[in-house]
Structure 1
């Protein structure tokens, strides 16, 4: 029997809802749902709490678990988390590039405006822009 099947059977045997078990373990109902669907696995601390709650030894609780499946699932989760972090870092770098481009654009615009209004502000300095 796989862990998620065992957890589901133990919870139903006690007559608990996912929400009630989640409250006992201080996790969300969605977390219990993911554990029971085999989409994720509890960490060691939660396994100890589960074994205490169901009055089982850790060995009894996790016996017959396909450890390779857990490893593959953790590896996949780590890869997804790593890809997300890489994406966030790239997005952050792109934001910085856009900020610099906007600042440079404003500086160029300010210089152009200044150059256009300079003859009106300082007509005495017209020798700077008159051709001879």
Structure 2
């Protein structure tokens, strides 16, 4: 890939017009047009400005890709700025999804606390449920268009930046694993109380602790959903090819074919379609993108 193609792709990725790029580089639109058409080449000072603007190395800008040296390099170049922006976006979205699910779970709490006051618990359930739906749907509907291209194109990343991401993930891995385990344990402990009572094993001894169990489940779900989403975001960028293989192994297809999904789809219940759609969107968010193989660029 020649310099002209790289400059064109980087400019389009940022959403700059030729005039906007020329203004940032203190040059003319005609000069930018010539560079992109392969009719000229910027001087060293402009090359440094281009590298700083798009956060790419000068070596990447100058080095042409050899078309016949092994596998042809195709795909969407993901700059460091875009990757960092995507991770910040995923962090924001994961917080909203986790908070929304937590509020929906907590909506059952008023009934357990104010069981003798139907009006009170009904109002509180509606308020918590509505808040949960609003927060949850704001995450689902709050897609940023600029990241949609990551779902459609192979990803090209600078090897140096991938190494930075790997080092960062290695530092966070133990923390993330601990949070996921704690979150899953909280959900399991809270849910176990209801299972034991339903099976008649606890014989009513755990009923007074139902509110605490609901809080445990809500907190555990928040921790689990948020951390898993962040983990999968790193996994998508660092180990994209392995991520693809796991995703293509049929995880989502198995979920769709599960007994619960089949049962709900068979019901003549208008709420079932809504429930299924929300569940599908949630799982799509937890597995953030339809990943495709990633290739790395050498940066010297």
Query: Which of the five TM-score ranges fits, normalised by the shorter chain?
Result: 0.3 to 0.5
- Tell me the TM-score normalized by structure 2: 0.21
Structure whose CA Rg is larger: 1
**Could you tell me the TM-score, scaled by structure 1's length?**
0.48
